[in-house]
Amino acid sequence: MSMKEKTELLFKVLVIGDLGTGKTSIIKRYVRQFFSIHYRATVGADFALKILNWNDDTLIRLQLWDIAGQERFAKMTRVYYKEANGAFVVFDVTRATTYEAVEKWKSDLDSKVLLPNGSPIPAVLLANKCDLVSENLYSNTTQMNEFCAEKDFAGWFETSAKENIGIDEAATFLVKKIIETE
């Protein structure tokens, strides 16, 4: 057995988007297999920690920052964004206004945090609550890919915090993008 210690990486990931889109539920689902339909908005920014045994040599501590109650401004303070490595922008597939707000969230993000080389931090778009719709307006791949290219998202995923769909995949995808920027 090797005595070599694992490399430990710490990544700060922001989870932003309109109120009620499922940000807190997604974090809870990802960090531990738990989902409450009675979850109430928490107060103040907070983060949950997920430990990933990424590979034999690397352990990743993923901090998921929940904005918790600050959504109505569609922007956050610089402290919240400080030294963020990546972001999820979440919308609710049953509410078009939350999709329309994605652009605001993304531009607020890009105006407050950049990589050392000046480009935006990797961001992934989450089309959440896909369990609620049989015909998802936002599952058209061509259209969503175009939207992501235009708004500079690394990718998008249909997710359900309730049914545990897409969240692990989205997180793995984002972590890979973050590692590529390191």
Q: Is 37 in the site for ligand GDP (CB under 6 A)?
A: yes
Q: Is 162 in the site for ligand GDP (CB under 6 A)?
A: yes
Residues 120, 114 contacting (CB under 8 angstroms): yes
Among 24, 76, 171, 178, binds ligand GDP (CB under 6 A): 24
Residues 118, 128 contacting (CB under 8 angstroms): no
Among 11, 12, 16, 25, binds ligand GDP (CB under 6 A): 25
Whose CA is closest to 23, among 77, 62, 63, 68?
68
What are 42's two structure tokens? 């928490």
Q: Is 21 in the site for ligand GDP (CB under 6 A)?
A: yes
Among 24, 85, 98, 128, binds Mg ion (CB under 5 A): 24
Q: Is 98 in the site for ligand GDP (CB under 6 A)?
A: no
Whose CA is closest to 103, among 72, 146, 74, 141?
74
Q: Is 21 in the site for Mg ion (CB under 5 A)?
A: no
Q: Scan residues 29-58 and list those touching Mg ion (CB under 5 A).
A: 41
Collapse the DSSP code of 4 into the 3-class scheme (helix H, G, I; strand E, B; otherwise coil) and give the result.
coil
What are 57's two structure tokens? 């040599």
| Contact footprint for ligand GDP (CB under 6 A) | 19-25, 37, 39, 41, 128-129, 131-132, 160-162
